Chain A
Amino acid sequence: MLDTTRIRPEFPILQQKENGQRLVYLDNAATSQKPRRVIDAIVHYYSFHNANVHRGAYALAVEATEAYEAARTAVARFVNAWAREGVVFTRGTTESINLVAASWGRANVKRGDTVVVTAMDHHSNIVPWQILCQERSATLRMVEITEDGRIDLSDFGRALEAKPKIVAFPYVSNALGTVNPAAQLSKLAHAAGAVTVVDGAQSSPHLRVDVQTIDCDFYALSGHKMLAPMGSGALIAKPALLEAMPPYHGGGEMIERVWDDRSTWNKIPHKFEGGTPNVEAAVGLGAAIAYLEQLGMEKIAAHEQELARLTIERLSQIDGVTVYGPREHRAGVVPFTYGDIHPHDLATILDKDGVCIRAGHHCTQPLMRRLGVAATARASFYIYNDVDDIDALVTAVRKAGELFGVPA
């Protein structure tokens, strides 16, 4: 386990109270809290280095550009990208996936083609493909899940028979915690001739990610779920694919020459970064990655898996609690329901004890339909969570049972 007594003081927000109680923040799959060093990196950037990037002929602009590009190098190293030119800064996973759908998708998906997603995908890895398929009169095929919340590999195989152009799936499910066999899925998809798009929003903060080992084609991540600012994120792609793709946003920065009636494009990754980028977000992401690397991604994964194991064990001792997701290969995400108490009521009651959890459909409505529930409660962990947090969660859940008269 990580030494949380050294980690917790790094997070200013954890020093404050929630409803007069110790803040027990268990909604990390939604967003993570930010350590002082990330907040300081942003303040430092604006205090000493701020200028527009890639254009100024003065020292300050060079410093800003160096800070921005250093963050790109950090992201490339963090996920073992094919090249630092294959790291495009975006606002997050959602924008990264929309970029692929709008650029690679529009250039390659034609009438009658198929795009494959899974029933455990987040709306951000479903809706961009729905929009693309509707525009192109293509077919969207959703792969089913098994009863214990894994991707159904036989249905995945059947979906590949249509020779899809794109296969998209999450590395880690935000609503179930399932860690999918990303390398295996990517290999199968490649054999069927597809490019693969991996939603890395829930894997990047919690696991050692190596995109070259997974051998996907596109990998999307969000900074805000991994200690970095909101509005930070990246698309990591094979450089040859990016080279061949049309631009996403037109504007400054992404051009080489602009004629009256046409333009030529800048080199990758800048071709995809039209307009002034969010430099503070990139700088914050760089600082977050440095901290995560210092703690060690393997240790972080082990810490969260142990917390999830303990939580499942203790929640399962309460009559009426149902925990969702697979028994093995799961990350630090614990979705559950308790008798007929609606998850929103649970979340309100837990909040009174300072326990912040998510309640709802988790932006996975197709998955909720398959689970046969309208909503679940979800506790999700990160580096600063400890056994005290689990105690507070379990105590508050028992209290909810008493208040609502769930039979003990």
Chain B
Amino acid sequence: MSDLSDLYQQVILDHNRNPRNFKRVDLANRKAEGNNPLCGDRIQLYVQLDGDTITDIGFQMPQGSGCAISKASASLMTDAVKGKTAAAAETMFQQFRDMLAGGNDAPGKLAAFSGVRAFPSRIKCANLAWHALHAALQNSAQPVTTESARDF
């Protein structure tokens, strides 16, 4: 059986308390909104894409609307993809999803979310920001929801 400290690893608690890139990006040319209708979590993601490179990225969550897992995941995601190409970010998303679906750990600090595997009810929280990033990179105008994105 999995322990709570596997889910709420220090790096996750830290990023929940002090989220990185927790800002609106004024020069963003890609935006996406993500919703988890089950719990009311909402994320607004801002991406500045220069050519194929993510030169800046930030996110906001309305007051009280992000759980520790979704907020830390957004924070670590923005750190991980900043300066990377869109294609590299999509690859990371795939690795992240694979990890949560029971596959190998994702690279770097993203592996901190490996503990979410043992908590199926929280997988959608971890994936929310990534679905929003995917929508932003696809330039999709539609808000993404964790329901339309099939995680199960």
On A, residues with C-beta under 8 Å from B are: 19-20, 340-345, 348-349, 352, 359-361, 365, 368, 373-375, 403-405
Contacts and interface: CB of A to CB of B under 8 A. Distances in A.
Interface stretch (B60-68, B77-85, B101-109): B60-68
Interface in B102-121: 119, 121
13 contacts: A340-B64, A342-B68, A344-B122, A345-B8, A348-B122, A352-B3, A360-B39, A360-B40, A374-B39, A374-B42, A375-B65, A404-B68, A405-B13
B8 A403 contact: yes
Contact of A405 (B1, B17, B40, B69): B17
Interface residues of B, number: 25
Given A374-B41, A374-B42, A374-B63, 4 more contacts: A342-B64, A344-B122, A348-B122, A404-B8
A20 B1 contact: yes
Contacts of A375: 39-40, 64-65
Contact of B65 (A349, A374, A404): A374
B8 A374 contact: no
Contacts, number: 59
Contacts of B62: 374
B122 A374 contact: no
Contacts of B17: 405
B4 A403 contact: yes
Contacts of B3: 352
B99 interface: no
A126 to B, nearest CB: 16
A104 B16 CA distance: 50
A393 B108 CA distance: 36
A345 B69 contact: yes
Interface in B32-72: 38-42, 62-69
A388 B137 CA distance: 51
Given A352-B4, A359-B39, A374-B40, A345 B67 contact: yes
Contacts of B42: 374
Nearest to B5: A403
Contacts of B40: 360-361, 365, 368, 374-375
Contacts of B1: 19-20
B64 A348 contact: no
Nearest to B65: A374
